[in-house]
Amino acid sequence: MMKKIIVIGNGIASTLFVYFLSQRVKEKIEVLSLADDDLFPRCTLKSTSLVAKRGAKKGTPLGDLLTNSFDEVESFFSFWKNKYQSIQRVEVTSLCQKGSKFEEDYLRRFLNQVKDENDFLEFKEWGYLFDAKKILEDLEQEIVSSENILWKKEKEAVVRSFFCSEKEKYTLQCLSGKEIEGKYLFFGTNAYSSLLLDYPLKSEVITGHYLKFQSCNLGDKSFVYNLHEKTFTYRAEENSIEIGVVSTKGFNASLKEDQLKEIYSLFKPIFSKNIPPLEKGEVLFGYRHKIMGRRPGLFIDKKVNQSILMASLGTYKNGFSYNFVLAKEAVDEIMNHWAEVL
């Protein structure tokens, strides 16, 4: 019988998981994807989607994950760029105003590699900027063209709850009343995870707001500036500028006018007349999932005999890089399980 995996979610975590799976399996397997992106909007499409090292070093679990994730994205980019344009290499400039409360942390992070530029300290590095919509489309194209995946997608499928049935399987209960059984589950449900999953670590939802300006021209190269933990992103291919992020606790969609204005004013003197007036900016927001103590990871539950439940959790500010590691870990887990058990 064909093996079947159920994936809940349609964002970068779930799509990378199915993509990496398609690269590893040697036989045809069925993947059923369930999501409702209207009811649970994808953070993936409301993200400034930059991957940069920003002084991360190995030596702690978080430092290891940050650097390994960066390396994964870097090597992924090196072959992806030959076929697709959904990731680009960009210059990332991190600035810090001299004498500001951010200086100590900034110097610890970038050590003595910073340049002294008048009122600012400056550090430059290469990072990777994703076009979120395009990377999902490109990954989907690769999955669909893989001979090993029979991919079925249900678009308005809300998973309300699930339980372990006596038959050593999980039963997912959908809002429509439909029940779906499966032995292998992957949750890429991000901020909505705590509505469904019972996992041991405390977590919270953090809403992120930012401003997006269209029809801007700052040249033919995309770039990113960081200043005092805030970001300015210029996307040359779409002539847009993104400025943010305002972070607030919980599912908090209300306008963050004052805080966004503050961030806009931070960058305005640097880019002067090149930034459109504040009122031209569209306010966008997405919901992020944060595990207390910044402990993102792959949650694995094997309580049900011969079945596996996995979830990519707490990816918070780094979902575009962590998932390159976590989705691969999830694929390893399932491949090892099949090798041992079946």
Ligand X SMILES: Cc1cc2nc3c(=O)[nH]c(=O)nc-3n(C[C@H](O)[C@H](O)[C@H](O)COP(=O)(O)OP(=O)(O)OC[C@H]3O[C@@H](n4cnc5c(N)ncnc54)[C@H](O)[C@@H]3O)c2cc1C
* Contact residues for ligand X, defined by CB under 6 A: 8-14, 34-37, 40, 42-44, 46-51, 157-159, 188-192, 196, 208, 210, 244-245, 286, 288, 312, 315, 317-321
Phi, psi of 140 (to 5 degrees): -60, -40
- Residue 217 CB, nearest approach to ligand X (Å): 23
Task: Write down the least CB distance from residue 145 to ligand X, Å.
Answer: 22
Question: Which of 106, 210 has the CB closer to ligand X?
Answer: 210
Bridge partners, 248 (sequence order): 207
Report the residue number, 54 or 103, with the smaller CB distance to ligand X. Answer: 54
Question: Which spans in the chain are helix H?
Answer: 12-24, 61-80, 103-110, 132-145, 257-271, 319-341
CA gap 239, 30 in Å, rounded: 40
> What is the CB neighbour count within 10 angstroms for residue 145?
9
Compute φ and ψ for 292, nearest 5 degrees.
Answer: -55, 140
Nearer to ligand X, 34 or 275 (CB): 34
Give me the least distance between CB of 118 and ligand X, in Å please: 28
Core vs surface per residue 300-338: b (16+ CB within 10 A) or e: ebeebeebbbbbbbbbbbbbbbbbbbbbbbbbebbeebe
In the block, tokens 């007036």 appear at 277
CA distances to 13, 183, 241, 251 from 8, rounded to whole Å, are: 10, 13, 32, 20
Nearest distance from C-beta of residue 302 to ligand X, angstroms:
22
Pick 42 or 53: Cβ nearer ligand X = 42
Residue (36 or 204) nearer to ligand X, CB: 36
Q: How far is the CB of 323 from ligand X (least distance, A)?
A: 7
CB of 124 to ligand X, least distance (A): 17
CB atoms within 10 A of CB 57: 12
Q: Which is nearer to ligand X, 291 or 308 (CB)?
A: 291
Question: Can you state the percent helix, strand and coil of the chain, rounding each to 5?
Answer: 35, 35, 30
Task: Specify the residue, 149 or 211, whose C-beta has the smaller distance to ligand X.
Answer: 211
Return the residue nearest ligand X (CB atom): 319
Closest approach of ligand X to the CB of residue 56, in Å: 12
